[in-house]
Structure 1
Amino acid sequence: MTNLKSAKLKGKNTYVNTSVAELIELAVKRGEGVFSDTGAFAVSTGKYTGRSPKDRFIVRDSITEDKINWGKVNLSIKEEIFDVLYNEVVEYLNKKDLFIFNGFVGSLGNYKIPIRVTCEYAYQAMFANQMFVRPTKDELSKHIPEFNIISAPGFKAKKGMDGINSEAFIIINFTKKVVLIGGTSYSGEIKKSVFSIMNFLMPQKGVLPMHCSANKGEKGDTTIFFGLSGTGKTTLSADLDRKLIGDDEHGWCNDGVFNFEGGCYAKVIRLDKEKEREIYNAIKFGTLLENVALDENRKPDYNCASVTENTRAAYPINYIENFDSDGFGKEPNTIIFLTADAFGVMPPISKLTKEQAMYHFISGYTSKVPGTERGVSEPKATFSTCFGEPFMILKPSVYAKLLGKKIDESKADVYLINTGWIGGSYGEGQRIKLSYTRKMVNAAISGKIKNEEFVEHPVFKVLMPKNCEGVPGEVLNPRNMWKNKEAYDVKVLELAKRFKENFKRFEDVSQDIVMAGPSK
């Protein structure tokens, strides 16, 4: 069996912790991308414009055997296959120039893990520099990586090799502390592999890893936002009146909430200059644009989805006007779950008990709508455990129990906010106005909404406020907004049934959490 220590990555020339400006200069010379009119560097990731979940594997060994939630999401692979691919990738990369980033994941000292990202492309080293926690000169001089992430987009696996499904592969080896990525240029594979590592390690230290954004107010009050892609997590947490702690990945320890990253990876399809000003203004020199269409004047066309709906911008967090340089906040006062319900039946805002919070956390519900994915012609209920199933690689009950414990200790208020449709399903109703959603978020964060009168939803049992400052009263109860009330009643039961069917797969969840779900 291969000894990884004897297999050294050398490369023709190596560029270690090269400045972003120089990396961009090198990327231009190498033909990796072009400048947009904003100064951002735009690249195409080719065949793979998003994650490739069927090509992500975890080496099954004594460390992972009993811990990983094995199945269709967490695919196992033999160590022997990893070793063969590792040797082939090393041989391939040793003929290339290599671009290396030495830094950290985790902004809080006790949970800061040193990583090394070795890339075939200069722009991916730029991505790593912008996305992870950058070291000080002193930290860099003492840096010894605990995990190595190796990205070789130009190396393609032999399809049909034992356990490998295509030319692309993303393999995490927790024993040898290596992530091996090949066949795909999509930078998100680097980011999410590191997130998966943290989601494996942090619970062992009593830390709840979270796929969430977080911000804090002038008095230090912290809010976290859980939500899948397209629910508004990044948009709603970027608030000029509150400091952004981070937009995607955090840990909740006994001291509070800390950012895993040093940057943001925002989805920019249909980016609106007025509604999402903070993100729009962050797209400048030093920002990486992935698969964003440029017109003849190199102006980004954020409305164009001809390549993919998953257009992205990666930039350091300090590009947001009001960011928190420490990447840390106190224990949260408010927890917000975001869902984009395309069935048009979930309340725009509702208050959850601890058990309901755990139920909806495990469920991780949102909707896919036509146009976002091939084959989706009508709204499709999507359930992603813990609002990040592909990356939350332990058993769901591990994360849910940690969340329940943290809610008990912090006494945080939990709200479920629907950023999707009202007055009908997708195609009939309308998307809830962002201005209304912001009013509801602000009412939850300030605590004002707690003083309102609530009524229980007849099916989902969550508590709906009768009033919220700045939001028309009829909007707050979704049934009010449907012209055909009977059609609403049918649709809400249809969605409730999908919740129940999905929850059947969680066998190790306590009955009080199961009973917190829909009543019908």
Structure 2
Amino acid sequence: ASLASLTRGTGPKVVRGDPAGKVQSVSHVAHHHHIEAPTISVSDSSLKFTHVLYNLSPAELYEQAIKYEKGSFITSTGALATLSGAKTGRSPRDKRVVIDDTTQDELWWGKGSPNIEMDEHAFMVNRERAVDYLNSLDKVKLSVQLDNWVGDRCIRPTPEELENFGTPDFTIYNAGQFPCNRYTHYMTSSTSIDLNLARREMVILGTQYAGEMKKGLFSVMHYLMPMRQILSLHSGCNMGKDGDVALFFGLSGTGKTTLSTDHNRYLIGDDEHCWSDNGVSNIEGGCYAKCIDLSREKEPDIWNAIKFGTGEILLLENVVFDEHTREVDYGDKSVTENTRAAYPIEYIPNAKIPCVGPHPKNVILLACDAFGVLPPVSKLSLAQTMYHFISGYTALVAGTEDGIKEPTATFSACFGAAFIMLHPTKYAAMLAEKMQKHGATGWLVNTGWSGGSYGSGNRIKLPYTRKIIDAIHSGSLLNATYHKTEVFGLDIPTEIEGVPSEILRPENTWADKKAYKETLLKLAGLFKKNFETFTNYKIGKDNKLTEEILAAGPNF
């Protein structure tokens, strides 16, 4: 009944049901340990029976949370509200990956990489610490779920699938309530999220934030899927009534969720997808959406999804609610601005079930350009798509982070640098190959400023951006007349129905043409500086493809 095997070399031993009558088998395990005299001796906690709560139903999970999880409450809509403790967001600087003979060559290490190394010994120290902590508990929840190689919001298997599930492909030891030892080699705080790809295990210590499990598994997918010639994508995805699929890439604040959620189209997913030889599919079984300032008027689908339903659990993380009525105040930021709602995708009215679709026709890269020099929409060549996909650009404005006083460019490779495992050019090459094979078109859409930078210009109106996206979906934008811009060399349409033609060319909207040119060159310089990280990496046997990508960037 211990979570540890005899030498703690393998995954948990699962015992279902009432522990009564099973105690004898526990002493047998301890006796067996004594006879074999393993090199690693056991602690008292490994001899104690731990009641494993195996794949509980939503109702059972609610009961366990209310009874035993401090800080858990049921809100007025029936959603379960809980707190994640001191950590209210991901801790990317505390994420570690075991470096070995295989990962040393396969993974992206060094400058710009999210992968921070640890060795096998340090991983096993943290794994042992997590197992000891879990064995000290009276009850441990064990959940068997599916990711899409067939998170927080994985895909719940059917009873039939559970019967023949076999040995899990991946095991997470989530001991988030217990800290790691800060004096363990490679540790820099009391939090650590450790991936061991050879053992197919993840250990979580010192953080209860649900997003660590979700994005930890997403990192695993970013490693495993390309090995199978499947492209893992940090994107939104929807499908039209005629089966045309669009992918939406974009960092926080660019409008990825808003624009991919379209009542005239089916939602395949809002965050994590795979593109295989069969088309696209959602990795997750639901959504883990930000819910700060959520309202019925702005986001009716998410608002209506936050309820207790049959067959699934609904979770609210770090929200504040009325002590008596239990009504949630989504505008309250006293705990964190990163409040979250996790809900099944079936709760979205226009969700496509199952969450799969044919090959994408459009790949839309979203940027909130606070410098105000990128056009509202540009049609990209294949090389330009790869360049801007690898760059992953948006801009922060005053108020988004402490100390931000003017527009600040930020770049995140593949629009998800914190989760990728391989070098960004590998994902870009796979994206280009699939786009070319299936005839997909790349687009760069600026949802940011026009007529000047942040503070002097104006944010491009959402109805205009929606008209642009509609024209992309309908295919009418493919037949437009185009004009090439200077410096970035982008193809911009001369007119789009429902969008003022003057805003399509950024220089037309700036009163000060000299300031426009200076700002354009400044942003181009930032792009070039950022891309220096990737210039020494060759794609293929020769350097031709890498040179094509470099040539697709700004020239001045």
Q: Deviations over 1:278-318 (max 9, x none)?
A: 22222222321222333554333333333333222111111
Aligned structure 1 segments of 4 or more residues deviating by more than 6 angstroms: none
- What does residue range 476-495 of structure 1 map to in structure 2 within 5 Å? 476-495=504-523
Residue in structure 2 matching 1:95, options 136, 145, 155: 136
> How far did residue 459 of structure 1 move?
2.0
Question: Which is further off, 326-335 or 431-440?
Answer: 431-440
Identity of aligned residues (%): 47
**1:59 matched residue in structure 2:** 98
**1:5 matched residue in structure 2:** 10
- Supply the distance in 1 between the matched residues of 2:470 and 2:62 (Cα, whole angstroms): 39
**1:287 matched residue in structure 2:** 314
Residue in structure 1 matching 2:552, options 513, 516, 519: 516
- Supply the distance in 1 between the matched residues of 2:478 and 2:103 (Cα, whole angstroms): 43
- Supply the distance in 2 between the matched residues of 1:429 and 1:23 (Cα, whole angstroms): 50
Whether the aligned pair in 2 keeps the contact of 1:359 and 1:514 (CA below 8 Å) is: yes
Whether the aligned pair in 2 keeps the contact of 1:152 and 1:182 (CA below 8 Å) is: yes
> How far did residue 8 of structure 1 move?
5.4
Residue type at the aligned position of 2:119: K
- Supply the distance in 2 between the matched residues of 1:300 and 1:341 (Cα, whole angstroms): 33
- Helix, strand or coil at the partner of 1:90: helix
- Supply the distance in 1 between the matched residues of 2:66 and 2:163 (Cα, whole angstroms): 29
> How far did residue 478 of structure 1 move?
2.4
Q: Deviations over 1:488-510 (max 9, x none)?
A: 22112111100000001102251
Q: Deviations over 1:413-459 (max 9, x none)?
A: 11111122223222333322222221111110111112222211212
Gaps of 5+ in 1: 113-126
Residue in structure 1 matching 2:461, options 433, 436, 449: 433
> How far did residue 6 of structure 1 move?
7.5
The verdict on how the C-alpha distance between 1:440 and 1:182 changes in structure 2, with shifts beyond 3 A counting, is: same
> How far did residue 368 of structure 1 move?
2.2
Q: Deviations over 1:106-127 (max 9, x none)?
A: 1xxxx32xxxxxxxxxxxxxx7
> How far did residue 272 of structure 1 move?
4.4
- Supply the distance in 1 between the matched residues of 2:129 and 2:77 (Cα, whole angstroms): 39
**1:247 matched residue in structure 2:** 270
Q: Deviations over 1:155-187 (max 9, x none)?
A: 101213210111111000011110101101110
Question: Which is further off, 74-83 or 284-293?
Answer: 284-293
TM-score norm. by structure 2 comes to 0.86
> How far did residue 210 of structure 1 move?
0.6
Residue type at the aligned position of 1:39: G
- Helix, strand or coil at the partner of 1:449: helix
The verdict on how the C-alpha distance between 1:95 and 1:491 changes in structure 2, with shifts beyond 3 A counting, is: same
- What does residue range 118-517 of structure 1 map to in structure 2 within 5 Å? 128=152, 131-143=153-165, 144-285=167-308, 286-295=313-322, 297-506=325-534, 507-509=536-538, 510-517=546-553
**1:36 matched residue in structure 2:** 75
- Helix, strand or coil at the partner of 2:316: strand
- Helix, strand or coil at the partner of 2:409: strand
**1:121 matched residue in structure 2:** none
Equivalences, count: 499
- Helix, strand or coil at the partner of 1:74: coil
Residue in structure 1 matching 2:63, options 8, 25, 41: 25
The verdict on how the C-alpha distance between 1:9 and 1:479 changes in structure 2, with shifts beyond 3 A counting, is: farther
TM-score norm. by structure 1 comes to 0.92
> How far did residue 472 of structure 1 move?
1.8
- Supply the distance in 1 between the matched residues of 2:498 and 2:319 (Cα, whole angstroms): 35
**2:34 matched residue in structure 1:** none
The verdict on how the C-alpha distance between 1:380 and 1:136 changes in structure 2, with shifts beyond 3 A counting, is: same
Whether the aligned pair in 2 keeps the contact of 1:7 and 1:90 (CA below 8 Å) is: no
Aligned-pair Cα RMSD in Å: 1.9
- Helix, strand or coil at the partner of 2:103: coil
Gaps of 5+ in 2: 1-6, 16-48, 539-545
- Supply the distance in 2 between the matched residues of 1:373 and 1:148 (Cα, whole angstroms): 35
